[in-house]
């Protein structure tokens, strides 16, 4: 009985799902939103691993702790990735004020 009624109504009456046109801009992810790549995130954010997924996180500013990778590809091994330092900053060993430089901490610093 359902198929016969459908024929009487006609296909025009059924709602159709159409994909959004490619020219409509999609909203960029905000901090904490899930992402696949940094281009999915708003300005000032990057897409970085958080546990077993990836979320938009803030790009690091001057003085913030950063991660320096000695081996290529080591970034993929972290479960809590940090973004890179903002433009004009580099991830360098923090300079200590004391006599012995015992800290292995890296921070974003001006070139």
For residue 28, being part of any structural domain is answered with: no
Task: Using DSSP bridges, classify how beta strands 53-58 and 65-66 pair: parallel, antiparallel or unpaired.
Answer: unpaired
CA distance 93 to 100: 14
Number of domains in the chain: 1
**Which of 6-15, 21-30, 93-102 is predicted most confidently?**
21-30
For residue 62, being part of any structural domain is answered with: yes
What is the domain range of residue 70?
33-96+104-110
How far is residue 51 CA from its own chain's centroid? 13
Domain CATH number, residue 63: 2.10.80.10
**Side-chain half-sphere of 12: how many Cα atoms within 13 Å?**
1
| Model confidence, pTM | 0.65
What is the tens place of the pLDDT at every residue in 17-73?
656 555 555 689 999 999 999 999 999 999 999 999 999 999 999 999 998 876 665
For residue 78, being part of any structural domain is answered with: yes
The answer to whether the CB of 84 falls within 8 A of the CB of 67 is: no
């Amino acid at each position: 009985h359902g198929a016969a009624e459908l024929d009487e109504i006609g296909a025009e009456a059924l709602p159709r799902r159409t994909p959004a046109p490619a020219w409509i801009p999609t909203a960029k992810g905000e901090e904490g939103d899930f992402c696949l790549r940094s281009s999915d995130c708003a300005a000032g954010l990057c897409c970085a691993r958080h546990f077993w997924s990836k979320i938009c996180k803030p790009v690091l500013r001057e003085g913030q702790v950063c991660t320096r990778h000695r081996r290529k590809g080591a970034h993929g091994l972290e479960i809590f990735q940090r973004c890179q330092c903002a433009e004009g900053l580099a991830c360098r060993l923090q300079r200590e004020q004391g006599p012995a430089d015992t800290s292995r901490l890296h921070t974003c610093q001006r070139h």
